[in-house]
A and B are shown apart, each in its own frame.
Chain A
Amino acid sequence: MIDIAVTGIGVISPLGIGRETFWESCRKAKTGIKKITSFDTTSLQSNIAGWIDDFDPRRFMPPGCYRRMSLVSRMAVASSIEALADSRLIPDSLNRERIAIIMGTAYGSSFHVEDFYVSLLEEGPRGAHPFLFPETVPNAPASHIAMYHGITGPNSTFCQNEISAENAIMYARNLLSQNLVDIALVGGADELSAMQYTCYDAVGALNKVRAEEGETIRPEPGSGLILGEGAGILVMERFDFARQRDARIYGVLKSGTIRGGVTDIGHYEIEGEQMARAVFLAIEDAGMNPGEIDQIDISANFTGELDRMEYNQLRQIFRGRSNNLEVTPLKYLMGDFGGAGIIRAAAILLSIYNKLPLPTVNAEVLRSEAGNFPVWNIPPAGKTSTALMTSSTFGGGTSSLIFTKQ
């Protein structure tokens, strides 16, 4: 399997708008989780999320371009603008058919779904606004990116809950490996909407924390999911193509695996057998052994079921360091969403490129024991050559990716 180089990064996240602000927050383990004020949460059991309160699309594009876009499309296009500029690629000079856009999102614009349907309920068929409907399809963000940049290559969107972006990465890798494209803009994007939040609240999945504005939030481990939002784009190229054009390379996607465990809808794989299998296969495909992994970025999200499963499996896989297993659960800082995998990958790649490790917590915190709150450790400059990124989603899907320095 060929190596895939990452040559551009764009990030709109609760940890910061833009790659540099995001990286700064990552290094400081600054949290993006705060009280929601963007919609009314009075009647809900929870009122916190990793949400974005300082995104202004005008910083990226003229109002005429984004007027009819949903928030998730705006964030996706904005991150693509940053990523493409960062990669120093100019689509005009390339064969636009040889650039793919592959996105991952859990729901697309759930705000538009709610808005459109409620207008139908309240006002009848005549009240249903035609401009809202096209934005309800999950592929709208990928389509807007294509239209904004005039990119006409393969264009697909994956919706696989919390491993949507990881699916996008793997499909892009498939296209690049077959030489069907030279470059892929690979992304993840989700918006936090009242519709989505109230649904998760209704099924009892959320971390039942109610906070005041400005209050420092310390979610209790294992007490439930904290949702997030954001968008990220990675510019991925075949390694030889990137070298040929003398591109700056943040890091390399060395291997990747997606597998699925057997579980009920709404639950994570309980034992984590397939999660462990995916990790094993990814490490093996990269031609490595677990001892060579410098950083472990995990998908823990304060859900007891997931966090404990990751803990149990990682303890087995990294037996040699089980007394002092340090992991990076970035979702503890930014919340969880379908496109989060791209932002986690961006953090890993910035860490590898800057030779500065990501902050970690001791893996014991994943056991979700009451009162055992995460304590972030910010390591000094150290080994950052290789990173494992493991992701699991409710419904049973699981993914493992290995990133290395070039």
Chain B
Amino acid sequence: MNKDTSRRVAVTGLGIITSIGDSVPAFREGIFNGKCGIEPISLFDTTGFSCHSAGQIKTRGLEGFFNPREIKRNSRCDLLGLIATDEALSDSGFDIAKYTKEKIGVVLGGGAGGMLSWEKYRRALCLKKARPKPSLLLPTAPCTLTDLVASRYKLTGLRATICTACSSSATSIGYGFDLIRSGDQDIVVTGGSESLSELTFSGFHSLRLMDPEYCRPFDRHRRGLSLGEGAAILILEDYERAEDRNATIYAEVLGYATNSDAVHITSPDAEGMSRVMVQALRNANVNLNQVDYINAHGTATRISDQMETRAIKKVFNGECAGDLPISSTKSMVGHCLGAAGAIEGVATVLALHEQVVPPTIHLEVHDPDCDLDYVPNQSRKQEVNIAMSNSFAFGGNNTSVIFARNKVKTREFKSIQ
């Protein structure tokens, strides 16, 4: 690794599929219009649960993207990830053939991976139905998508899969940033994918962390999170190279930090959250008063929203905590676990690129414990130069990523309705 900390890191390609949109333009329209993708689940039977809804992707069948063989051989999680990767690489506009492929890395965040495929296999065994197909087991490992992406595009650079639950794909952006900044890689495919599965659904249900209807981050009557599924990919690139080839630079990654609460396996801690935000700002060389927007972790569990609010107030106290727009993308797409950090990374980058702060929807009743500006229900047109995206995971694994606006805006979307 050649140490060259002067390299800057640009975001030059975006790809996304969520319950509110299966492309970047559709997702952008969804988040800026406050669309809710949380609806009844059809992917598996929810009889016996107190919750029956999630941010399941229904807009288009996967048949629209893949041939039957690909659908049969790959997990739902991996297929979602490939959809987002195809869009992001196409969006970035670089000709892979012209690049040294060993300087293009793939660093993705994983969650439950191919759990849904394993569940099909295990359920069939348990119910002693016809012998299940062993091929269902092949995509079980959390890193399958990373290998698939690298092999599909013949990318031979560094390959890694980070699995820190809900902060996995946020950390993948951070590691991609390190690899480019140090000169080890010129381009890194970062992001993550997650599909709904019975295991995660019943897991959060067993912990009584799910809202029976839809999640309401920072609302007084919030009752928990809604799960979601989706994939998001951010193509990170050496800034100078991106400029040289006149690429659209959506935003710049300025820095990140990860840390550990070291307190509890499931319960969040405001102290750890505040420390990671401060460390990320320090890593990005950004002052408190320069931050214009925070894309919150904002799960809508009682304690997590309270802790995050407390942490933001501690970090920005006396500076701008009360005036700082904060919003939760999870209010629209649900909590996409391993993909959440990347989905929220894309939302943050779009906020910088479009100069619009997306809203927190379903926020109706003020909570005295959550007394900041959460941009309720309506997106807001305003100047956004520097933004922070927070991800806090089970196990106390926290990550904050700092993005900056790129002043030269080259990709134009159609205006928001």
Contacts and interface: CB of A to CB of B under 8 A. Distances in A.
Interface of A: 1, 96-97, 101, 105-108, 113-114, 116-118, 120-122, 124-126, 128-130, 133-140, 142-144, 146-147, 149-161, 167, 170-171, 173-174, 177-178, 180, 199, 202-204, 258-266, 274, 277, 285, 395-397
Interface string B167-178: 000010001001
A156 B170 CA distance: 11
Contacts of A170: 158, 160
A160 B259 contact: no
B49 A137 contact: no
B260 interface: yes
B154 A262 contact: yes
A139 B395 contact: yes
Interface of B: 1-3, 5, 48-49, 73, 102, 106, 110, 115, 118-119, 121-123, 126-127, 134-135, 137-144, 146-148, 150-151, 154-165, 171, 175, 178-179, 182, 198-199, 202-208, 257-266, 272, 275, 279, 283, 393-397
Nearest to A151: B262
B163 A138 contact: yes
Contacts of B102: 259, 274, 277
A113 B171 CA distance: 24
Nearest to B279: A97
A146 B146 CA distance: 27
B397 A155 contact: yes
Contacts of A116: 199, 202-203
Contact of B48 (A108, A124, A150, A153): A124
Given A174-B182, A260-B150, A142 B395 contact: yes
Nearest to A397: B159
B151 A264 contact: yes
B143 A159 contact: yes
B161 A158 contact: yes
Contacts of A105: 163
A208 B40 CA distance: 46
Contacts of B205: 125, 128
B110 to A, nearest CB: 6
Interchain residue pairs A-B with the least CB separation, the first 8: A143-B395, A395-B147, A155-B260, A133-B203, A260-B159, A146-B260, A130-B206, A138-B163
Given A155-B397, A199-B137, A395-B141, 5 more contacts: A106-B141, A139-B393, A151-B262, A173-B1, A177-B182
A137 B262 contact: no
B48 A118 contact: no
Contact of B160 (A114, A129, A258): A258
A117 B122 contact: yes
A133 B123 contact: no
Contact of A396 (B139, B142, B147): B147
Contact of A158 (B147, B150, B163): B163
A122 B123 CA distance: 10
B151 A174 contact: no
A137 B126 contact: no
Given A118-B122, A266-B138, A97 B147 contact: no
B259 A203 contact: no
A177 B3 contact: yes
A160 B175 CA distance: 15
A147 B265 contact: yes
B275 to A, nearest CB: 7
Contacts of B48: 124-126
A281 to B, nearest CB: 9
Contacts of B49: 125
